[in-house]
Amino acid sequence: MAVKLPVNLARVLYVDLTRKRSWVEDRRDLIEEYLGGVGLAVALAREEGVERADPLGPENGIVFAVGPFNGAYPMGSKTVAVFRSPLTGNLGESYAGGRSSLAIKFAGYQAIVIRGASESPVYVAVHEDEVKFRDASALWGMSSSETVGRVIREREPNPGFRTIMRIGLAGERLVRFACVVTETYRHFGRLGLGAVFGAKRLKALVVSGRRSLEVPDRRGYREVYDELYELSTKSNLMRKYHDLGTPMNVLPLNEIGALPTKNLKSGRFEQAEGISGEHMAENYLIRRAACSGCPVACIHLAGIREPYPHEKYFYKTTVVSYDYEPTYSLGSMLGVGDAKRLLRLIHEVERVGLDAMSTGVALAWATEALERGLVREGDTIVKLRWGDAEAYRRAISLLVEQPNDFYSALAQGVERASQIYGGSEFAMAFGGNEMPGYHTGPAAHIGFLIGGRHSHLDNAGYSYDQKRAELPDPEQVVDDLMAEEAWRMVLNSLVVCLFARGIYRPEMVSKALDPLGIRRSVEDLRELGWRIYRERMRLKVDAGFDPSRLRIPDRIFETPSPHGLISPDYVQRALEHYHQRLKDICTP
Partner 1 sequence: MVRRVAVVDSDLCVGCGSCMLACNRRFAEVGYGKTAIHIRSAGGVERGFVVIVCRACKNPPCAKVCPEDALLPRDGGGVRLIPNKCIGCGYCVEACPFGAILWDEEVDKPVICTYCGYCVEYCPYGVIEMREVS
Q: Does 316 bind partner 1 (CB under 8 A)?
A: no
Q: Which is nearer to partner 1, 247 or 474 (CB)?
A: 247
Q: Give residue 226's Cα distance to chain centre.
A: 29
Q: Does 212 bind partner 1 (CB under 8 A)?
A: yes
- DSSP category for residue 82: E
CB of 219 to partner 1, least distance (A): 7
Q: Which is nearer to partner 1, 159 or 472 (CB)?
A: 159
Considering only 11-19, 24-32, 142-150, 271-279, which stretch makes contact with partner 1 by CB under 8 A?
Answer: 142-150
Q: Which is nearer to partner 1, 153 or 511 (CB)?
A: 153
Q: Does 215 bind partner 1 (CB under 8 A)?
A: yes
CB of 286 to partner 1, least distance (A): 9
CB of 352 to partner 1, least distance (A): 17
Q: Which is nearer to partner 1, 224 or 361 (CB)?
A: 224
In single-letter form, the type of residue at position 187 comes to H
Q: Rounded to 5 degrees, what angle do the CA atoms 496, 501, 504 make?
A: 75
Q: Give residue 189's Cα distance to chain centre.
A: 4
Burial bucket for residue 463 (CB in 10 Å: 0-12, 13-18, 19+): middle
The residue from 210, 265, 340, 581 that contacts partner 1 (CB under 8 A) is 210
Q: CA 210 to CA 127: how far, in whole Å?
A: 9
Q: Does 469 bind partner 1 (CB under 8 A)?
A: no
Q: For partner 1, what does the binding mask look like between residues 154 and 193, x meaning CB under 8 A?
A: -----xxx---------------------xxx--------
Q: Specify the 3-state DSSP secondary structure of 472.
A: coil
CB atoms closer than 10 angstroms to residue 481: 24
Q: Does 512 bind partner 1 (CB under 8 A)?
A: no
CB of 243 to partner 1, least distance (A): 13
Q: Does 106 bind partner 1 (CB under 8 A)?
A: yes
Q: CA 95 to CA 15: how far, in whole Å?
A: 20
CB of 304 to partner 1, least distance (A): 12
In single-letter form, the type of residue at position 327 comes to T
* Interacting residues of 159 by C-beta distance below 8 A, sequence separation 6+: 153
Q: Within 13 A of 81's CA, how many CA atoms are on the CB side?
A: 29
Q: Give residue 273's Cα distance to chain centre.
A: 26
| Total binding residues toward partner 1, as defined by CB under 8 A | 48
Three-state secondary structure readout of 46-60: HHHCHHHCCCCCCCC
* Nearest alpha-carbon partner for 22 in 125, 107, 104, 105: 125
Q: Does 322 bind partner 1 (CB under 8 A)?
A: no
* Interacting residues of 577 by C-beta distance below 8 A, sequence separation 6+: 474, 475, 478, 479
Considering only 147-155, 355-363, 430-438, 580-588, which stretch makes contact with partner 1 by CB under 8 A?
Answer: 147-155
H or E, element range at 307: strand 299-307
CB of 538 to partner 1, least distance (A): 33
The residue from 38, 102, 202, 275 that contacts partner 1 (CB under 8 A) is 102
Q: Which is nearer to partner 1, 128 or 542 (CB)?
A: 128
- 488, 495 in Cβ contact below 8 A? no
Contacting partner 1 within 33-92 (CB under 8 A):
71-72, 74
Sheet holding 91-96, edge to edge: 21-26, 11-16, 111-115, 62-65, 79-84, 91-96
Q: CA 194 to CA 178: how far, in whole Å?
A: 5
Classify strands 429-430 and 21-26 as parallel, antiparallel or unpaired.
unpaired
Q: Does 225 bind partner 1 (CB under 8 A)?
A: yes
CB of 347 to partner 1, least distance (A): 11
Q: Which is nearer to partner 1, 18 or 233 (CB)?
A: 233
CB of 334 to partner 1, least distance (A): 25
Considering only 166-174, 212-220, 378-386, 475-483, which stretch makes contact with partner 1 by CB under 8 A?
Answer: 212-220
Q: Does 374 bind partner 1 (CB under 8 A)?
A: no
CB of 292 to partner 1, least distance (A): 5
* Interacting residues of 1 by C-beta distance below 8 A, sequence separation 6+: none
CB of 586 to partner 1, least distance (A): 37
The residue from 11, 211, 265, 573 that contacts partner 1 (CB under 8 A) is 211
Q: Which is nearer to partner 1, 287 or 468 (CB)?
A: 287
* Nearest alpha-carbon partner for 423 in 501, 345, 369: 369
CB of 209 to partner 1, least distance (A): 8
The residue from 221, 487, 499, 557 that contacts partner 1 (CB under 8 A) is 221
Considering only 1-9, 169-177, 370-378, 465-473, which stretch makes contact with partner 1 by CB under 8 A?
Answer: 1-9
CB of 166 to partner 1, least distance (A): 13
Q: Specify the 3-state DSSP secondary structure of 67.
A: coil
Q: Which is nearer to partner 1, 137 or 233 (CB)?
A: 233
CB of 184 to partner 1, least distance (A): 5
* Nearest alpha-carbon partner for 328 in 250, 390, 429, 241: 250
Q: Which is nearer to partner 1, 183 or 458 (CB)?
A: 183
Contacting partner 1 within 229-268 (CB under 8 A):
229, 233, 238
Q: CA 51 to CA 247: how far, in whole Å?
A: 36
Burial bucket for residue 398 (CB in 10 Å: 0-12, 13-18, 19+): middle
Residue 250 main-chain phi, psi, to 5 deg? -60, -55
Q: Specify the 3-state DSSP secondary structure of 461.
A: helix
The residue from 56, 251, 256, 319 that contacts partner 1 (CB under 8 A) is 319
Q: Is the peptide bond before 215 cis (omega within 30 degrees of 0)?
A: no
Contacting partner 1 within 286-315 (CB under 8 A):
287-297, 299, 301
Which sign does the torsion angle of CA 118, 358, 356, 96 carry?
A: positive
Q: Does 153 bind partner 1 (CB under 8 A)?
A: yes
Contacting partner 1 within 546-575 (CB under 8 A):
none
In single-letter form, the type of residue at position 34 comes to Y
- Interface with partner 1 by CB under 8 A: which residues? 1-2, 4, 7, 71-72, 74, 102, 106, 146, 149-150, 153, 159-161, 183-185, 209-215, 218-219, 221-222, 225, 229, 233, 238, 287-297, 299, 301, 319
